[in-house]
């Protein structure tokens, strides 16, 4: 730890906040007061759920987007444009489809004005190093995903960057390919002649973070803040089965699914703006509850994710939604099926719709808001623009649409309200009245 903190800083991020102008005048904060230093000799993972602004942070470090306040400096100099000391590997590879592998790898050298003969030589070396020999004259579209990402690595490494930035570099690849490529990358990193001095990788995959990083920074969502830092002292190559590895994964899981939002919930009133609906469809929810039910009502979430070959990003919104609706309860990394959840899963279709309606109406803030607004309107119907305007005070345009879509999906399933896409009209469903009566009787 001490050697790390005294090592020379390469990139320093100081007090970086990033907000985008919201649709209704107010700003949406994506990153909030981020401070962090990337030092020589370390691999840092930025871990977070979607919406934690981790990719935004990486792009701020790369000098591709400007922070709203705060600054990023490279080797002591504040950057004002693309960071000259870094190269980036993209999730979607970002290769020029019209250039051959060789030309793609040479492109950055060309930009530096390296003469053709040297350019060719260096590119061939990089192609060799990354295991692409024989594919020099192929076009990216002829290659598999794994081979394409190798081109992405070669293109970045041929520049001998000070720091290598990676934006979810393996998440578009299948499990075996990504495992293989990860291993090869870490072998290169361990070599003494490897010119790159630091790596910063963005990921939503906990195991990947533990496999790669010397320390993991966990980002919270909405807005993105650094909510924890976990150093990893495991020797490389790392063994997934070792108890320390598993313990670190558990710890990160707990940090990531942490109760910070729930404790806040007890203090502040819940509303559609403070408590957005998790991105989960009713079908997905039903699937999750069904699985937990099949596990005798209790399951370990990391194990479950592993079993389903899911990643956190896929599983967590479902877990969050199930918790919000009161179908599951989460303690640490354990999920328990509630009585309501059991009822919902085992009832016939009509009854389960009723249960869902009651739960959604009482516990999902946006659904509740829509229902009460419709009940208080003259004819039980309102334009979607009304809710859109409300939501835009706290969400971006895309997020507003997503929130509305989820609420409509849930509301339609529970037959709380119906939506006419042609007229943009939301109207109270027949069942809504019954559900309201039921709620009253329970109160």
Give min distance, CB of 195 to other proteins, in A.
17
Q: Which of residues 50-89 bind other proteins (CB under 8 A)?
A: 59, 62-66, 79-84, 86-88
Site string for other proteins, 219-248 (x = CB under 8 A): ------------------------------
* Rounded CA Rg of the chain: 25
CB of 426 to other proteins, least distance (A): 17
Instruction: Give the separation between CA 163 and CA 167, rounded to whole angstroms.
Output: 13
Query: Measured from the CB of residue 92, what is the shortest distance to other proteins in angstroms?
Result: 5
Q: Decide: residue 32, CB within 10 A, 0-12 exposed, 13-18 middle, 19+ buried.
A: middle
Strand 215-219 to 43-48 pairing: parallel
Which lies closer to other proteins via its Cβ, residue 116 or residue 195? 116
Nearest CA to 61 out of 251, 247, 168, 201 is that of 201
The 3-state secondary structure of 295-347, one letter per residue: CCCEEEHHHHHHHCCCCHHHHHHHHHHHHHCCCEEEECCEEEECHHHHHHHHC
Distance CA 144, CA 354 (A): 48
Site string for other proteins, 369-408 (x = CB under 8 A): ----------------------------------------
Q: Which is nearer to other proteins, 94 or 340 (CB)?
A: 94
Paired with 228 in beta bridges are 218
User: Could you tell me how many residues of this chain bind other proteins (CB under 8 A)?
Assistant: 40
Give the residue with the Cβ less far from other proteins, 96 or 308: 96
Of residues 109 and 286, the one with the C-beta less far from other proteins: 109
d(CA 75, CA 162): 10
Cis-peptide, bond into residue 223, ω within 30° of zero: yes
Taking CB under 8 A as the rule, which mask of x and - marks residues 14-53 in contact with other proteins? ----------------------------------------
Question: Can you count the helices (H) and strands (E) in the chain?
Answer: 18, 16
Residue 164 backbone phi and psi in degrees, to 5: -105, 125
Least Å from the CB of residue 106 to other proteins:
10
Convert residues 89-118 into a mask of x (bound to other proteins by CB under 8 A) and - (unbound).
Answer: -xxxxxxxxxx-------xx-xxxx--x--
Question: Does residue 138 interact with other proteins by CB under 8 A?
Answer: no
Give the C-alpha separation, 216 to 200, whole Å. 10
Nearer to other proteins, 107 or 431 (CB): 107
What's CA 54's distance to the chain center, in Å?
Answer: 7
Please list every residue from 143 through 182 that binds other proteins, using CB under 8 A.
148, 155, 159
How far, in whole angstroms, is CA 206 from its chain's centroid?
A: 11
Rounded to whole angstroms, how far apart are CA atoms 328 and 303? 16
Taking the least distance from each CB to other proteins, the nearer of 139 and 386 is 139
From the list 141, 233, 241, 266, which residue makes contact with other proteins (rule: CB under 8 A)? 141
Distance in Å, CB of 140 to other proteins, minimum: 6
Shortest reach from residue 139's CB to other proteins, in Å: 7
CB of 186 to other proteins, least distance (A): 23
Q: Which residues bind other proteins (CB under 8 A)?
A: 59, 62-66, 79-84, 86-88, 90-99, 107-108, 110-113, 116, 139-142, 148, 155, 159, 422
């Amino acid at each position: 730890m001490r050697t790390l903190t005294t090592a020379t800083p390469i990139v320093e991020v100081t007090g970086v906040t990033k907000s985008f102008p919201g649709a209704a005048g107010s700003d949406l904060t994506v990153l909030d007061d981020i401070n962090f230093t990337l030092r020589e000799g370390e691999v840092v993972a930025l871990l977070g759920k979607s919406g934690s602004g981790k990719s935004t942070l990486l792009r701020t470090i790369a000098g591709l987007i400007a922070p709203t306040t705060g600054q990023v400096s490279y080797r002591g100099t504040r950057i004002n444009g693309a960071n000259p000391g870094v190269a980036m590997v993209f999730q979607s590879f970002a290769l020029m489809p019209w250039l051959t592998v060789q030309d793609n790898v040479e492109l950055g050298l060309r930009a530096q004005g390296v003469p053709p003969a040297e350019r060719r030589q260096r590119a061939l070396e990089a192609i060799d190093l990354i295991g692409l020999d024989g594919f020099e004259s192929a076009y990216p579209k002829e290659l598999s995903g794994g081979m394409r990402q190798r081109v992405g690595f070669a293109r970045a490494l041929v520049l001998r960057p000070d720091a290598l930035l990676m934006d979810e570099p393996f998440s578009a690849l299948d499990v075996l390919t990504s495992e293989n490529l990860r291993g090869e990358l870490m072998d290169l990193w361990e070599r003494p002649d490897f010119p790159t001095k630091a790596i910063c990788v963005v990921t939503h995959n906990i195991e990947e973070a533990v496999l790669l990083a010397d320390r993991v920074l966990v980002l919270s969502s909405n807005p993105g803040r650094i909510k924890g830092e976990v150093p990893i002292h495991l020797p490389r190559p790392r063994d997934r089965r070792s108890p320390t590895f598993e313990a670190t994964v558990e710890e990160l899981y707990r940090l990531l699914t942490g109760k910070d939002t729930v404790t806040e919930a007890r203090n502040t009133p819940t509303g559609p703006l403070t408590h957005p609906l998790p991105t989960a469809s009713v079908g997905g929810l039903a699937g999750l509850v069904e699985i937990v039910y099949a596990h005798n009502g209790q399951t370990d979430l990391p194990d479950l994710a592993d079993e389903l070959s899911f990643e956190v990003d896929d599983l967590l919104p479902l877990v969050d939604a199930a918790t919000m609706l009161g179908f599951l309860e989460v303690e640490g990394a354990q999920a328990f099926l509630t009585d309501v959840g059991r009822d919902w899963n085992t009832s016939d279709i009509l009854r389960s719709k009723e249960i869902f309606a009651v739960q959604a109406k009482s516990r999902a803030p946006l659904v509740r808001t829509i229902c009460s607004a419709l009940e208080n309107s003259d004819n039980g119907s309102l334009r979607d623009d009304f809710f859109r305007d409300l939501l835009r005070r706290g969400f971006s345009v895309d997020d507003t649409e997503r929130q509305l879509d989820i609420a409509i999906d849930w509301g339609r399933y529970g037959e709380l309200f119906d939506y006419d896409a042609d007229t943009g009209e939301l109207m109270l469903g027949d069942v809504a009245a019954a559900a309201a009566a039921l709620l009253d009787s329970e109160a």
